[in-house]
């Protein structure tokens, strides 16, 4: 306890230096005095230690905390790293708790979650709801024009889709208000806390989905994976989390309600797959359905269920007897004659496809027993462009039939751990929820069968240009198949040679970070049950050494995923020169379709 407390004090002391220290920042932009802030930081330390002890027993928290404090952390690859000065004061990377919330979380760690489990992702404290509309907000003098423009755009997005209204004020008003400011990172409080309440939009926080995420916290939304039903949808890989951040994966057992909204793997409030990863590359959050592994962690914009949660919490009963919306849509609480439609759906009652963006595409299609095809814009040549969107609503003429989908020919998207350019299939019965999103270069070899006679195919490009996809569809009476068959795996656990026998055995290798080309990385860890062990806690290796297939669009695809790693950095010209042969990431080169390397950098990496 003493060592970890000294650690927290030392980090906090660093944040005190200068006028822009974390405590001074919080005191300036939130109605929290120094005594309250000290109490909150002390409670956060206790939360960390209690959660750590629950997971690791008598292992020394202080040693791990010191080591972890030197490493960068983030909750999503699409959200900036947590500022080190703010770590002693933030929960789950971007939440500034009040004292009551921190005390509740501390109390519930280790409790019988089955006994007190309550489904929730919205704050249950009625006092935390914003009761006075419009919600007043001001833009602090620290913000530049572009930052202000993105904030206003995000506020308008919330306002246009909910019954909530916002009003910008110039001077500090009486009562409760939000103050957007340029602070040390991206963070907010949960729900209304009274008086001045800041939302920090710091460096690299300007993606619209990130700002909407932080506003969501202020309106009352917790992170999606904090729900007590999360373990039905995701698995947290404890071995790959920075150990002292175990508390940031606690499933809370009180204080929040779900309001009947299903779990949403596409929520803008969800952690990404590498949240609090020990190396920023290894997966820490795995979806139970492997098809959703690249869906979690998106920060493009609010999902349909993100918005519905707020509308249910704040706007219930405003449109009784209004327009009957279809396919999961509902009347807009501020314009009851209009429907709020799930993504991919449009029309006055959500009975057709959503209008396209920057492309001529999308349709309402009727399946038959013969194969029909759908392609992304420009497929395969010249391919799609950035910032395009299309939706195809596919229906079977008989409600007893389902729809079978199969990807064919070519498949290539910008490759990221959370898809930003993708094709999304909504083949579950609930078309309102996010479907699984596919990107990168591996075309699924399996066919998929919808759960009902309706299905949606959505294409979205945000950042790049590439080949895209082609799929075909037809009616079928086969059983629904909305996920992949479970893989057959064999795990070999190597002995911890050359190190103390106090180590546990090595855990399983993580999923390879790339599908081909030799630039993939995998890692595994082992646990030290005592205060100190000799040797490495984590080891790395290369993986997936098959050369990537030849692709006439490879220059465009690879330029968007340039590899920069220490001394090695591919450039566009290097990619272009190698585009007529199987692709391998430097320092690997293709030999009979396999990526090989004699560069000592590879061995140095394996020995890390």
The H-assigned helical ranges of 165-230 are 208-219
Only one residue has tokens 């590498």, namely 274
CA distance 205 to 186: 6
Q: What values do phi and psi take at 459, rounded to 5?
A: -110, 135
Instruction: Give the pair of three-digit tokens for residue 463.
Output: 């950042």
223 is in an annotated binding site: yes
* Residue 213 assigned ligand-binding role: yes
- Which letter does DSSP use for residue 538 in this model? E
Nearest-angstrom CA–CA distance, 65 and 47: 13
Phi-psi region of 260 (alpha: psi -120 to 50; beta: other; left: phi over 0): left
Structure-token pair, residue 248: 């940031």
CB atoms within 10 A of CB 201: 29
Question: Is the Cβ–Cβ distance between 246 and 141 less than 8 Å?
Answer: no
Shortest CA distance to 36 belongs to which of 193, 191, 178, 181? 193
332 is in an annotated binding site: no
* Three-state DSSP state, 577: helix
First to last CA, the chain: 30
Reading phi first (left if > 0) and then psi (alpha if -120 to 50, else beta), residue 505 is in beta
Residues in a beta bridge with 389: 357, 460
**Contacts with 195 (C-beta within 8 Å, 6 or more apart), sequence order:** 31, 175, 176, 177
| 247/261 Cα distance (integer angstroms) | 25
Per DSSP, what are the bridge partners of residue 455? 394
Q: What single-letter DSSP state applies at residue 553?
A: T
Point out the catalytic residue in the list 25, 49, 92, 214: 214
- Is 360 a known active-site residue? no
Residue-wise burial string across 307-334, b where 16 or more C-beta atoms lie within 10 A, e elsewhere: bbbbbbbbbeeebeebbebbbbbbbbbb
Residues labelled catalytic = 214
Residue ranges of the binding site for Zn(2+): 213, 217, 223
């Amino acid at each position: 306890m003493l060592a970890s407390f000294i650690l927290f004090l030392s980090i906090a002391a660093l944040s005190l230096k200068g006028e822009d220290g974390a405590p001074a920042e919080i005191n300036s932009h939130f109605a929290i005095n120094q005594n309250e802030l000290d109490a909150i930081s002390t409670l956060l330390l206790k939360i960390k230690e209690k959660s750590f002890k629950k997971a690791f027993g008598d292992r020394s928290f202080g040693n791990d905390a010191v080591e972890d404090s030197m490493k960068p952390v983030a909750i999503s690859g699409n959200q900036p790293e947590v500022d080190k000065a703010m770590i002693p004061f933030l929960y789950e990377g971007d939440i500034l708790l009040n004292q009551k919330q921190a005390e509740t979380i501390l109390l519930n760690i280790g409790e019988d979650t089955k006994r007190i489990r309550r489904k929730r992702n919205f704050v249950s404290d009625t006092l935390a709801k914003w009761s006075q509309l419009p919600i007043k907000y001001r833009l602090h003098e620290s913000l530049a024009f572009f930052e202000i423009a993105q904030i206003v755009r995000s506020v308008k997005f919330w306002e246009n889709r909910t019954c909530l209204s916002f009003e910008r004020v110039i001077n500090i008003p009486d009562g409760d208000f939000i103050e957007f400011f340029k602070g040390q990172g991206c963070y907010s409080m949960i729900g209304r806390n009274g008086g001045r309440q800041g939302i920090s939009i710091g460096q690299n926080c300007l993606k619209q989905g990130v700002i909407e995420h932080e506003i969501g916290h202020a309106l009352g939304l917790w992170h999606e994976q904090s729900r007590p039903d999360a373990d039905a949808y995701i698995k947290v890989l404890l071995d790959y989390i920075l150990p002292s951040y175990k508390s940031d994966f606690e499933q809370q057992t009180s204080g929040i309600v779900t309001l009947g909204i299903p779990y949403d793997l596409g929520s803008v409030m969800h952690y990404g797959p590498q949240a609090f990863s020990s190396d920023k590359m290894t997966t820490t959050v795995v979806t139970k359905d492997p098809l959703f592994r690249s869906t979690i962690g998106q920060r493009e914009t609010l999902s349909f269920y993100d918005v519905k949660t707020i509308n249910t919490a704040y706007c219930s009963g405003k449109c009784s007897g209004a327009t009957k919306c279809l396919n999961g849509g509902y009347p807009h609480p501020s314009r009851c004659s209009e429907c709020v439609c799930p993504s991919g759906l449009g029309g006055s009652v959500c009975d057709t496809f959503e209008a396209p963006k920057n492309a001529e595409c999308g349709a309402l299609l009727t399946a038959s027993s013969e194969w029909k095809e759908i392609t992304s814009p420009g497929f395969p040549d010249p391919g799609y462009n950035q910032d395009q969107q299309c939706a195809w609503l596919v229906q079977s003429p008989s409600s007893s039939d389902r729809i079978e989908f199969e990807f064919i020919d070519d498949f290539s998207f910008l490759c990221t751990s959370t898809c930003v350019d993708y094709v999304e299939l909504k083949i579950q019965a609930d078309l309102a929820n996010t479907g699984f999103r596919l990107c990168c270069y591996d075309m699924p070899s399996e066919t998929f069968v919808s759960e009902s006679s309706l299905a949606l195919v959505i294409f979205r490009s945000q950042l790049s240009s590439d080949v895209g996809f082609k799929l075909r569809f037809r009616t079928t009476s086969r059983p629904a198949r909305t996920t992949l068959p479970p893989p057959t795996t064999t795990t070999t656990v190597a002995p911890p040679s050359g190190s103390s026998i106090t180590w546990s055995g090595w855990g399983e290798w993580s999923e390879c970070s790339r599908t081909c080309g030799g630039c993939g990385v995998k890692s595994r860890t082992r646990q030290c049950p005592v205060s100190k062990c000799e040797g490495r806690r984590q080891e790395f290796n290369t993986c997936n050494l098959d050369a990537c297939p030849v692709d006439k669009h490879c220059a465009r695809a690879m330029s968007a995923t340039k590899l920069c790693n220490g001394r090695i950095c591919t450039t566009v010209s290097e990619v272009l020169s190698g585009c007529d042969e199987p692709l391998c990431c430097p320092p690997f080169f293709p030999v009979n379709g396999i990526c090989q390397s004699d560069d000592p950098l590879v061995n140095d990496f394996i020995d890390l």
